[in-house]
Structure 1
């Protein structure tokens, strides 16, 4: 994805342009404006009240300057070692499950393999950002291999994810898990609302999003003429769609060889576990904090303010497995930083971010506490106002009809 957290360094290697409708990344100094009541220290006023929607008293350049220089260095050998590790584990798990082939092993395999599919996605995601290496051909080849293997159209997704980074926090222009306006929300039928807000249904949304995007938006990640893409991106999109079709054909061929039931157990169920991981993690990076987070329109939005509404999450043992993708705030601001430097970069940037950084609640070995955050957010965060330049999620008290929801 060619978005860069640093507006002065926007070389994504693949040299693809953004659609004209995508809002430009603001200048680094934007967001450093003085505002009434702010004394210049991390958005805290004289009464020590913090307004998360206030422009921060620091610049993107201030955050970047706090991050050690070596955190920006991309090591393709190190990146490839993670690919090798994950691919070996994936094939090892599949071989062990096929050999043992009993119903004590299969559920454990599905959980483990679905998580490894998600790890493959994160590495492909790094290829799309250009944080995998400085070699655009290597990024493209590895990205296609990783993403096609889990039925993701590499370029189609890379470009739309770029749009998400360039416009994060903007009500209309953001791309993934963006809020519905009340007007759009009221047009949805009951079944659509249920599928969007009642767990676990939203956690299976990703494949459908690839085909038709979210309510209020049109286009497909597979079609080169989709309004997601600029005309000069047609070849990229076609290439990725062809690779996706080739993977589908391979899966069909393997099903004929080993049988559809065995293929379902080895690939089909882990694929849907991966989809759940992707939807849950993506959603929780932008929702579910105990304090409401702002969304912006018009002149109130800029790249820095939008990026500061993202959340870090702690996943316990899973942090290492899925390549520290939970360290998300710095990734959103500077997506060119390799995943293996995100933890260090975040630690260095926290003194600058102050209260604009929301410390994640620590997980034990497994992040079961995040289930409550997910369900609670789905029950509270339904739509935003049709008007206003700084808005917050509102709750539809009639959606689930529970007293708990009505009091939210």
Structure 2
């Protein structure tokens, strides 16, 4: 793990010196070419991704049993690339035409049974309110008093996804948030209903067909296991993107957009094959500074941010020690220390 460039208290003092810092000030320092869409690069990434997913499924078909886990890992990671292409479509950074983004976004997310429009709307809400306490909808820590009010089952579930079972967190997020179109209004409700019914219809045809032709084991082998690998990466990426023991969630009155997007987002280096298959989704800081930057321009934008705003940039390397630190410490909201661990919280309860 590489060191962060600045301590959180230094970030606060810097912000006090520059109270007028705005997101547009950061955007103006980026090269104009990072915002340009390149049709050839965009569609080449789709073609390569489809071929790699096909290669993954071929490896599942022909692999002996002891090699199947490797085939699942490769295929599930390549399917994560499908999601990332859909992710760019949701931000309208893939194509200039909205209908192209919507069509491709639905196609890429169909095999994952992910409703495109509900994810798009909720995810854009996360970008608007990144690390804003009680508002952000992505991996926000529970307040201690709210956690204490939960029943035993819900407490256990929260402890699991904030601990060693973090990798199932995005499955809960997917299931709980993305299939209820009644939480939306107007045109958005109609869009979400369409996406939900589309993926349910796809699943109602694809899953029985898969089971009828390959059996229950075929369903597990060809869909469930790669899908679980995909959710491992989804959970890991989204947790690491905004979580560390000194990254604060701020109440709305104290929240600053520029600081949240720049210093509250994390760049994490993964094995290069993962970054390739997942279209550099790990290069996350420029994506939060501006969602209009296409995936193939994120590295150029990141270099520019390091040159101009390096004191704010956080970089880590993916490792078990990183995940252990996050899952050991980053549990409950603490206004002074950013996070309080379950262990410390329960120790205080015992002492009282």
Which range, TM-score by smaller chain?
Answer: 0.7 to 0.9
Q: What secondary structure sits across from 2:40 in the alignment?
A: helix
| Map of 2:44 onto structure 1 | 81
Offset at 1:54?
A: 5.5
CA RMSD of aligned residues (A): 2.5
Offset at 1:135?
A: 1.0
| Map of 1:215 onto structure 2 | none
| Structure 1 unaligned regions, length at least 5 | 1-41, 213-219, 362-366
Tell whether 2:241 aligns with 1:285: yes
Query: Within 1, Cα distance between the matches of 2:249 and 2:238?
Result: 16
| Map of 2:251 onto structure 1 | 297
- The answer (yes or no) to whether the contact 1:288–1:374 under 8 Å persists in 2 is no
Offset at 1:222?
A: 1.5
For residues 335-346 of structure 1, the aligned pairs below 5 Å read 335-346=291-302
Q: What secondary structure sits across from 1:66 in the alignment?
A: coil
| Map of 2:343 onto structure 1 | 397
| Map of 1:333 onto structure 2 | 289
Per-residue CA deviations over 1:328-353 (Å, capped at 9, x if unaligned) read 11101101100111111111122332
- The answer (yes or no) to whether the contact 1:52–1:356 under 8 Å persists in 2 is no
| Map of 2:159 onto structure 1 | 197
- The answer (yes or no) to whether the contact 2:164–2:327 under 8 Å persists in 1 is no
Offset at 1:375?
A: 2.1
Per-residue CA deviations over 1:154-198 (Å, capped at 9, x if unaligned) read 101111101100000101110110121111111234443343334
- The answer (yes or no) to whether the contact 2:132–2:249 under 8 Å persists in 1 is yes
- Whichever structure has more helix as a proportion of its residues is 2
| Map of 1:12 onto structure 2 | none
Tell whether 2:182 aligns with 1:182: no
Tell whether 2:49 aligns with 1:90: no
Tell whether 2:175 aligns with 1:211: yes
| Structure 2 unaligned regions, length at least 5 | none
| Map of 1:30 onto structure 2 | none
- The answer (yes or no) to whether the contact 1:296–1:391 under 8 Å persists in 2 is no
Per-residue CA deviations over 1:178-224 (Å, capped at 9, x if unaligned) read 12111111123444334333444231122322232xxxxxxx42122
Q: What secondary structure sits across from 1:313 in the alignment?
A: strand
Offset at 1:391?
A: 6.8
Query: Within 2, Cα distance between the matches of 1:190 and 1:395?
Result: 18
Query: Within 2, Cα distance between the matches of 1:43 and 1:312?
Result: 14
Return the match for 1:225 from 182, 185, 201.
Answer: 182
Moved over 6 A (4+): none
- The answer (yes or no) to whether the contact 2:133–2:252 under 8 Å persists in 1 is no
Offset at 1:399?
A: 6.8
- Normalised by the size of structure 1, how large is the TM-score? 0.76
Distance 1:112 1:248, change over 3 A: same
Query: Within 1, Cα distance between the matches of 2:143 and 2:346?
Result: 19
Offset at 1:263?
A: 2.2
Distance 1:55 1:398, change over 3 A: closer
| Map of 1:127 onto structure 2 | 89
- The answer (yes or no) to whether the contact 1:197–1:379 under 8 Å persists in 2 is no
- The answer (yes or no) to whether the contact 2:331–2:340 under 8 Å persists in 1 is yes
Offset at 1:141?
A: 0.5
- Normalised by the size of structure 2, how large is the TM-score? 0.88
Per-residue CA deviations over 1:81-107 (Å, capped at 9, x if unaligned) read 111111111122212321x24212211
Query: Within 1, Cα distance between the matches of 2:58 and 2:201?
Result: 23
Tell whether 2:92 aligns with 1:113: no
- The answer (yes or no) to whether the contact 1:148–1:244 under 8 Å persists in 2 is yes
Distance 1:77 1:190, change over 3 A: same
Return the match for 1:69 from 18, 23, 32.
Answer: 32
Query: Within 1, Cα distance between the matches of 2:13 and 2:157?
Result: 30
Tell whether 2:91 aligns with 1:142: no
- The answer (yes or no) to whether the contact 1:52–1:293 under 8 Å persists in 2 is no
Query: Within 2, Cα distance between the matches of 1:340 and 1:259?
Result: 40
Offset at 1:302?
A: 2.9
Q: What secondary structure sits across from 1:179 in the alignment?
A: coil
